Amino acid sequence: MTDEKTLRVVALRVLLDEFKAQYDKARAELAEEMSRGDRRIARSPLGDETPKLAAVSKTDPAHVASIVDEDAFKKWVAATYPEKITSDYEVCGSPAEVHRVLFEHAPHLLRRVSKVDPQFRQLVLTRSKTSGMPVSPFGELDVPGVEVRLPDAQVTCRPTENALADVIELFRANRLSVEHLSNPQLPGGAA
């Protein structure tokens, strides 16, 4: 026979998984109704004071620019803005080998590499983000290796400090039930 603590853990885990799935589904359904940047306030339907339960909002994300093909971007910079390519060294030996011979000035452990100037990289990303498409600081379009995308807007819920007590009160007043919140097709769920 299962002890009470083990049963409690199992029951809470099962409910957590089910309610997490239902929460994600409800957010997706609400996201279809809301516009980017919308905000709604949820209030308890009990009593005259109608305490605020939570603020539900849909994000309004800005464009995001990123380097998605480092080699293509670096080749473009080298061909178009060669002065923005810098030289650097990259350690190519194993850590043990490097520790053993670096102090002996072993040049075979160092490899010369070229890198895009970090300030130039940031300038390309900033201009690309602002324009909504890959663009150089000087107006060239279609910068290789750069991607600009608009992230999906997300629905978020920020419960108030007293939301748990107010939701519990909704259960006690029979305004909410597990069946209201779970999938009606589940065994024992509402028809």
Tens digits of per-residue pLDDT, 79-114? 999 999 999 888 888 888 887 787 677 777 777 889
Q: CA dist 54 to 40, 51, 59, 91, 120, Å?
A: 8, 9, 15, 53, 43
The one-character DSSP state at 45 is S
The pLDDT value given to residue 148? 96
**Percentage of the chain surpassing pLDDT 90?**
48
* CA nearest to 49, candidates 166, 151, 146, 183: 166
Residue pair 56/156 in contact (Cβ under 8 Å)? The answer is yes
**What is the pTM for the complete model shown?**
0.56
| 31/111 Cα distance (integer angstroms) | 51
Query: Does pLDDT of 30 surpass 80?
Result: yes
Question: What does the pLDDT look like over 132-151, one tens digit per residue?
Answer: 999 999 999 999 999 999 99
Residues near 153 by beta carbon (within 8 Å), at least 6 away in sequence: 31, 36, 58, 59, 60, 61
Cα R_g (the chain), whole angstroms: 28
Confidence bin at 178 (pLDDT 50/70/90): confident
Q: CA dist 78 to 3, 71, 143, 168, 186, Å?
A: 69, 10, 12, 63, 61
